[in-house]
Amino acid sequence: MFFLSLIKHTLRLPPHLLNLPLDQAIKGELETLFLDKVIANLGLCVSVYDIRNIDGGFIFPGDGASTFTVNFRLIMFRPFVGEVLSGEVEESDAKGLRLSLGFFKDITLPAHLLPNPSKFGEDGKWTWDFNGTELPIEKEDEIRFKVNSIRYPPIPVEQEKDAKPFAPMVITASIDFDGLGPISCVYANVTTNTSNEHLFSLEGESFGFFDGVTLSKACKC
Amino acid sequence: MILRLQTNAGTLTNFEVLDFLRSRGASTDSTRVIANVAPSEFQVYDYLVQSAARNQTRESIDEFLTSWVKFDPAKAEKLNLINIKPSPAIEIDSIVENCEQRMGNEDEALVKMIIEMLPAPGKPEGTNEDPTEVVADQEAMEAVLPPSTKPRGTNEEETVETVGDQDSVQTLSFSTVTIYLYVV
C-alpha cells in the first residue's frame, strides 16, 4: 500500500522562517507543499519520511528568500494492481459502490465488478444473490476488495457547476474473487468442520457459527 | 521543480508506516492535538490503527517471513499477507497465486501459523524508527522478486509488470510543479 519515493526538489524558503533551524524549516515547507496531495503516477503523499540532503542556500538577485535543493523521501500511498485492501462503503448507487479508506475516498466499485448475480434494491443497497442466500452489502460493512486499476485523470480545464469535485487519483476495485466482499459474507462461505471451528475461536471474535452451512469452496464467491 | 530520483525507493508494510507515525507522536488519545502530526496524517493513523497492523511488532513480522520462505512467496504476496492477515483458508486463495498447487494440504497449518505469528499479544513496544534498519528490511524484501524469472498466473504478471515499471529510475523533470490538489 505504501511506498517510499526519493524526490529532489528546488525549494524556496521564505525569509520569515529564518529563525528556525534549517531542517525544521525545510521539513515544514515540504509538508505544506506535498502532504495530502496527489502526485501523478506516484500516488497520494502521506508523510515526509526523511531528508537526505540539503544543498544550496543561494539567494537569487531581487529575491529575499534563499533557495535550497533538497533530496528527501516521501511515504506515498499507491496500492499495486492485485493488492487486497479493506475499506468501508461510503456511497451506493445504481452504477456501483464507492468505498473509502478513511484517508482516501475515491475507490469506485463498478457494477460489473461485483460478483455475478448481484442486484440493486430499491433501498439503495446492493445485494448479492448466492445460491438463494441473500447477502446485502450494508453501509458500515468492512469490505475486502482487490485493486483492479489506478487512474490519474488529467485536471479538467472547466467543470460544470454541480459536477462532483475532481478526483486526481481514482482506484477501481473488484470483489469478484474468492475471499473478497463484506467480511461477514466471506465467513459465510467457509465449509464448516472442526478445524474451522478451531479457527474461529483462535481469532477471538464472535461470529455466529454458521451451523449447517456447507457452501463449497468451488462455487465462486 | 520536482525531479523524481527514484519512484520506488522501498516498499513499506502497514506496520512500518504505523510505527513511523507513532514515533512522530501520533496516538489515539487526547494528546493528539499537541503532537507534531498533521491532520491528514492522523487520518492515515486512524485507518492503520483499526487494521491488522495494530498488534504487530517487528519481530513477529520477521518470524512470519522466515517461516514462509519455504513456500517461496512473491513480494506482493508477502506484503498482502502481512497487511491483511487473512484467517479462513479461502482468503489466502485470493492473495497467493496457485494456492493449492504450491501448498496442497498444508494450508490449514499455514493459516494457524499466520494467526499465531501476526497479531502479537499485548501492546507493541514503541520502537524508535531507525532508518538504516528499515532500509535493510526493505532491501531484504526487494531481493526476493526478480521480475521476469518466475512463471506466474495472469494476476501476478500484471503485478510484476507494474512493480517493474515503477522500479526503473524515472527522471522526468517538470517545468511547472505538477501537484494536484486533493479535495477531501
The count of structural domains within chain B is 2
Any domain includes A198: no
Residue B127 — pLDDT band, cuts 50, 70, 90? very low
Cβ within 8 Å, pair B90-A47: no
What's residue B65's pLDDT?
78
- Look at the block and give the residue holding cell 533530496: A71
User: Are A76 and A108 in contact, with CB atoms under 8 Å apart?
Assistant: no
Domain end position, chosen among A77, A109, A140: A77
Is there a domain that residue A60 lies in? yes
The answer to whether position B34 is within a domain reads yes
Same structural domain, B78 and B110: yes
Alpha-carbon dihedral A207, A213, A216, A219, rounded to 10 degrees: -80
Give the residue numbers spanning the domain of A136. Answer: 83-155+166-192
User: Is residue B21 one of the residues assigned to a domain?
Assistant: yes
Which residue has better confidence, B61 or A152?
A: A152
Q: Is the pTM of this model over 0.90?
A: no
Q: Which of residues 48-67 of B touch A (CB under 8 A)?
A: 51
More confident residue, B158 or B86: B86
| B109 interfaces chain A, CB cutoff of 8 Å | no
Q: Which of A116-130, B87-101, B143-157 has the lowest mean pLDDT?
A: B143-157
The range of the structural domain enclosing residue B61 comes to 57-117
In this structure, the answer to whether residues A25 and A106 fall within a common structural domain is no
Pick the range with the lowest mean pLDDT from A13-22, A52-61, B31-40, B99-108. B99-108
Say yes or no to pLDDT of A145 above 70: yes
User: What angle is formed at CA A39 by the lines to CA B54 and CA B10, rounded to 5 degrees?
Assistant: 50
* Mean pLDDT of the B41-50 span: 85
In terms of domains, do B73 and B103 share one? Answer: yes
Q: Is A54 inside any structural domain? A: yes
- Complex prediction ipTM: 0.73
Residue of higher predicted confidence among A104 and B27? A104
Task: Tally the C-alpha atoms within 13 A of residue A156's C-alpha that lie toward its C-beta.
Answer: 9
Please report which confidence band the pLDDT of residue B132 belongs to, taking 50, 70 and 90 as the band edges: very low
Q: Is the pLDDT of residue A189 over 90?
A: no
Domain annotation covers residue B183: no
* B169 in a structural domain: no
Query: Least CA distance to A143: which residue of chain B?
Result: B84
- Tens of pLDDT, residues B6-28: 878 888 888 888 888 888 877 77
Is any Cβ of chain A less than 8 angstroms from the Cβ of B1?
yes
| B61 and B108 inside one domain | yes
Is B88 within the bounds of a domain? yes
Residue B31 lies in a domain: yes
pLDDT number for residue B94: 59
A208 falls within a domain: no
Residue A217 CB burial class (10 angstroms; 0-12, 13-18, ≥19):
middle
Position A35 in a domain: yes
- CB contacts, 8 Å: A190 with chain B: 88-90
Residue B30 has pLDDT above 90, yes or no: no
Averaged pLDDT for residues A2-24: 89
Q: Does residue B109 lie within any of the structural domains?
A: yes
Chain-wide mean pLDDT for chain B? 61
- For an interface test with B, give the residue of A12, A178, A206 to mutate (most B CBs within 10 A): A178
Rounded-to-integer distance, Cα A42 and Cα A5, Å: 8
What the block records as the C-alpha cell of A29 is: 515547507
Residue A202's pLDDT is 33
Q: Which chain A residues are closer than 8 Å to B20 by Cβ?
A: 47, 49, 75
Backbone angles phi, psi at A30, to 5 degrees: -65, -40
Q: How far apart are alpha carbons B134 and B138 in whole angstroms?
A: 6
Residue B180 belongs to a domain: no
Mean of all residue pLDDT scores within chain A = 76
CATH number of the domain to which A124 belongs: 2.40.50.140
User: What pLDDT sits at residue A70?
Assistant: 93
CA B6 to chain A, closest CA, distance in angstroms equals 5
Which pLDDT score is estimated for A122?
67
Whether residues B69 and B24 fall in one domain? no
Cell of A108: 469506485
pLDDT in tens, B53-80: 677 778 877 877 787 777 777 777 778 8
Interface check for B79 against chain A (CB to CB < 8 A): the answer is: yes
Instruction: Read off the pLDDT band of B119 (50, 70, 90).
Output: low
Instruction: Looking at the structure, tell me whether residues A27 and A57 fall in a common domain.
Output: yes
Q: What's the pLDDT score for residue A26?
A: 92
The answer to the question of residue A215 being in a domain is no
Q: Which residues contact A66 (CB under 8 A, 6 or more apart)?
A: A12, A13, A15, A56, A57, A58, A59
Domain count, chain A: 2
A116 and A141 within one domain = yes
B5 in contact with chain A, both atoms CB, cutoff 8 A: yes
